[in-house]
Structure 1
Amino acid sequence: MLQLNINNDNAAISPPKSGQSPYLLLFIILVLAALATWLIPAGEFDFITRDGIKFAVKDSLHAVPQSGIYPLEIFTAIVSGMVKSAPIIFLILFTGGVLAVVESTGAIAAVLNHLSRSTHLSDTRIILIFGVIFALLGTTGVVVNAVVAFVPIGLLVARSIGLPPILGASLVYLTCASGFNVAILNPATTGLTQHLAQLPLFSGMLLRGLTCLLFVSTAVGYLIWHVRRERLQGRGRPQLDTSAESRMVISGRHKLILTTTALALLIFIGGTIKFHWGTDEMSAMFVLLAVVVGLQGKMSGSEIANTFLAGCSTLVKGAFIVGMATAISIVLQQGNILDPIVGYLSNLLTPFPPTAAAIGMFISAGLIHFGISSGSGESALLIPIFSPLGDSLGLTRQVIVQTALLGEGIVNSISPTSGVLMAVLATANVSFGKWLRFIAPLIALWFVICIVMLLIGVAIKWGPF
């Protein structure tokens, strides 16, 4: 975690404190997944490919030879997970590098010192600002895996106003997730899932938009409530000494550095929308930004390189956790046990009435998402199976799409197999158990919202079909 010492002219990077390692939890899950490949009969669906997308064929599940994972393969899966997750891993590392360079100029320290003493920006306003920005970035799909890159900013802001790291991480991750979980205009989730269900692109906007608004509102309200509770327990804004205040003036050079940084992020957002930029382009931009900001801060070439590498080293723990989580998905896929699990759940839903079936599909999608971290991959597997099942039960395709999207979405924030979530927690030095206790009430609220909105969708025969 990047920790800012706001009592000094320049920011100082401190290593995270030791605690319960998320790697142990993920390794246990990885071993259990490997054992499951020996216990669950292996099977596969037949797939057909249309427009470059693989579709599972309903009722085509058939047995295949057991593909149990041997002990050595558990460790090779870890390596494969690291290789497969290389783009997001380097993005996380480069995030630490560029922030270290920006911090070393004193620009962030000066701004956060000013923020902590500001009487104009209340806790509620800060949360609302983060909520609006990151919920919009999440619901449009502009920031998904890349949300990890912004978490250190939330941590620095939280530290400057005397809040714990878990709230700092939540300022960015939780607000972004509240938008992403009900993605209104995300082509990679809603767009793809509707395409698989043969629905018009981004149709059903009104009810989906209302659901998203409820998700975001409850997330922001939950954070505001938590912060107020922190304040009532005596955790106020840090008191800074007068000498530090007098030295930490936001200079013209600081403004230039921060403007350059903000402009780079805006260019990336524009590139994402127009040119479909991803993690590779963002990583490259961070390297370029570190060089430009370093020169603006009158750093030498060696100072820029050494500071950048030192910043990268602080986020190694958070970066590698992504590969560890990906290894679990690799083991389940290599063991050929995901398709049988999907088929079993689908058969369970067949005798249920429409409302119960919709809720069952939603829960099933959530359970399956623990094993398939990719939302698009899960939709490609589920929708071809759920669609004819829903047709026979009287469910509209729009409702079927929403069951998959909400099931995937709500699990994102609590799944130990989510590389993004685990990277966020590792970056903030927050244990998975502590995170679950923190977020459980909000997940319960989101679960109720999902059920209510699905029941409304069934009742109004949410369409167009």
Structure 2
Amino acid sequence: MKPQTMQETGLETNQQKKWEMPDTYVILFAVLLMAAAATYIVPAGAFERGIVDQVERVIPGTYAGTEGNPTGFMDLFLALQKGMVQSGGLIFLVLFAGGAFEVVERSGAIKGGILRAVTKTQGKEFWLIAIVSILFALGGAVGAVANSVIPFVAIGLIITRALKLDALVAVSITFGATFAGFNVGFLNPYTVGIAQSIADIPLFSGMALRLIAFAVIVGATILYTWRYAKKVLADPSKSLVGVSIETSSLDDNLESPFTARHKLILSFVGFSLLFFIFATIQFKWTIDHMAAFFIIIGLISGIIAGMNYNQVALTFLEGCQKLVYGALIIGVARAILIVMENASILDTFVHALSIPLEGFPPILATIGMFVSNAILNFLVPSGSGQAMISMPILAPLADMIGITRQVAVQAYQFGDGFTNSIFPTSGPLMASLAVAGVPWIKWAKWMMPLFLIWCVIAVIMLSIGVLINWGPV
């Protein structure tokens, strides 16, 4: 065996000691420790609360000091267990939604539908970019495609190479479009669904303004992508990452059937989601109903796809397994709030935040919420986890500064959604860029103008929400 040299040993040691970004769970546990330490420092206090329109709301001006309850050693770990139990409904919603969408994806219906749209728009570059982007945006908006967009980036590469476009466009029409839809998430159970549940407003209410925001943001994303694509088509040297020439046609690479079964599955899922919106209004369905409904969607989709009972069960469970990481984050985030609530310091933080914001007009205060959530997403790049941390603070804060909780939900959603497309702590972003072979620096340079456009749209939409007193309906 060849002995190692001093240089080789030193290199290995340096590699082992190389710093790496802490995992989201590590960051959340650090926040949990800080929350526990704060129970010994931050004075306890509470607001009085009253029922307004069948919703418990904070009464401004009623904050008063109370007796504290500092967190003990076992209390810290009991909070983790209680966080999982108290978040059970939300955790199983995420898991069951993952299971249902895994069955739909494994049937080939999603891939077949996208590739059929691609073949129908060959030779019409703008419409190809637009239609593929809209399909992925819709997937992001309803939660069907988010982290699972990563393998679809490879399809984007096939499309763009055949069109003599570059990998940036491939990432934009797949990952970028998905998170353009995710930004609004008008029917996304992982973000808007959880946030509205915590804010105690009707599930998937406020749909009309969110649909308008979705159309504007996705439209801006398509136009921005097409503007860059036209430059590359006219002059490949304008590409930021270089153009790889693909000699084969799209037909050679995009052979995937789109059968009657696929059409039936997608139609069934679409109508099921529409029915759920109706049921939340007509029958007052909740998060628990939606979790149960995803079991039905997965089961029937598997039957339509021709899977036997074992295949349906195992595929559904595999989908649940893929989302265990993200689902349990909800429980850890809830543990932080349990520590703060048990020590009666959560209202103290709300009171402290409300003091500077009360001096601002409601629109500026709302923008402050949006910016603070965007910053928080750098540390907690999980939509559901961030909802669990921020919404228990933003909901009473909205009551304090005179804006509706619906506006607060959307301020959280924009703050969480936009930065997923640019922060290097976003796992789906970095994985998608790796598949496409695009350096993060190149993507950030390309994405930053679009990110700023999104922010301007968000400010306008949030301002409209404040001005019209955007409520549950």
Q: Which residue is equivalent to 1:63? A: 65
Contact 2:136 / 2:173 at 8 angstroms: preserved in 1? no
Query: Equivalents in 2 of 1:348, 1:307: separation in Å?
Result: 50
Compute the displacement of 1:63 (Å): 1.6
Q: Which residue is equivalent to 2:324? A: 316
* 2:280 paired with 1:265: no
Q: Deviations over 1:27-77 (max 9, x none)?
A: 222222222222222211222334433333333222222332234333222
Contact 1:91 / 1:149 at 8 angstroms: preserved in 2? no
Counterpart residue identity of residue 258, structure 2: I
- What SS does structure 1 have at the residue aligned with 2:277? helix
Q: Which residue is equivalent to 1:382? A: 397
Compute the displacement of 1:95 (Å): 2.9
Q: Deviations over 1:259-311 (max 9, x none)?
A: 33333333333334433434333332332233333333333222322222223
Query: Equivalents in 2 of 1:60, 1:160: separation in Å?
Result: 57
Alpha-carbon distance change, 272 to 236 in structure 1, aligned in 2, over 3 angstroms: farther
Query: Equivalents in 1 of 2:283, 2:449: separation in Å?
Result: 39
Number of aligned residues: 397
Percent identity (aligned): 26
Taking structure 2 as the reference length, the TM-score comes to 0.63
Compute the displacement of 1:98 (Å): 2.7
Counterpart residue identity of residue 306, structure 1: L
Query: Equivalents in 2 of 1:115, 1:332: separation in Å?
Result: 50
Query: Equivalents in 2 of 1:237, 1:95: separation in Å?
Result: 39
Q: Which residue is equivalent to 2:17? A: none
Query: Equivalents in 2 of 1:230, 1:78: separation in Å?
Result: 52
Q: Which residue is equivalent to 2:14? A: none
Counterpart residue identity of residue 38, structure 2: A
Equivalent residue runs for 1:20-419 within 5 Å? 21-115=23-117, 119=122, 121-131=127-137, 133=138, 147-151=142-146, 154-155=149-150, 157-162=152-157, 168=174, 170-178=176-184, 232=239, 233-234=241-242, 248-348=256-356, 359-360=364-365, 362-363=367-368, 367=372, 373=388, 378=393, 381-387=396-402, 407-413=411-417
Alpha-carbon distance change, 304 to 358 in structure 1, aligned in 2, over 3 angstroms: closer
Alpha-carbon distance change, 225 to 74 in structure 1, aligned in 2, over 3 angstroms: farther
Q: Which residue is equivalent to 1:392? A: none
Counterpart residue identity of residue 330, structure 1: I
Query: Equivalents in 2 of 1:51, 1:294: separation in Å?
Result: 41
- What SS does structure 2 have at the residue aligned with 1:55? strand
CA RMSD in angstroms comes to 5.2
Contact 1:362 / 1:404 at 8 angstroms: preserved in 2? no
Counterpart residue identity of residue 126, structure 1: V
Compute the displacement of 1:177 (Å): 2.7
Query: Equivalents in 2 of 1:94, 1:301: separation in Å?
Result: 17
Query: Equivalents in 1 of 2:370, 2:178: separation in Å?
Result: 25
Counterpart residue identity of residue 146, structure 2: V
In structure 1, stretches of 5+ residues that fail to align are 1-17, 139-146, 196-200, 388-397, 417-421
Query: Equivalents in 2 of 1:174, 1:217: separation in Å?
Result: 9
Query: Equivalents in 1 of 2:201, 2:273: separation in Å?
Result: 30
Compute the displacement of 1:224 (Å): 6.3
- What SS does structure 1 have at the residue aligned with 2:56? strand
Compute the displacement of 1:122 (Å): 1.9
Counterpart residue identity of residue 122, structure 1: L
Contact 2:365 / 2:401 at 8 angstroms: preserved in 1? no
Query: Equivalents in 2 of 1:230, 1:330: separation in Å?
Result: 53
Query: Equivalents in 1 of 2:463, 2:103: separation in Å?
Result: 51
Contact 2:105 / 2:111 at 8 angstroms: preserved in 1? yes
Query: Equivalents in 2 of 1:228, 1:75: separation in Å?
Result: 56
In structure 2, stretches of 5+ residues that fail to align are 1-19, 158-166, 188-192, 234-238, 377-385, 433-439
Query: Equivalents in 2 of 1:310, 1:194: separation in Å?
Result: 32
Contact 2:114 / 2:132 at 8 angstroms: preserved in 1? no
Counterpart residue identity of residue 386, structure 1: I
Counterpart residue identity of residue 160, structure 1: I
Alpha-carbon distance change, 153 to 111 in structure 1, aligned in 2, over 3 angstroms: farther
Compute the displacement of 1:217 (Å): 5.3
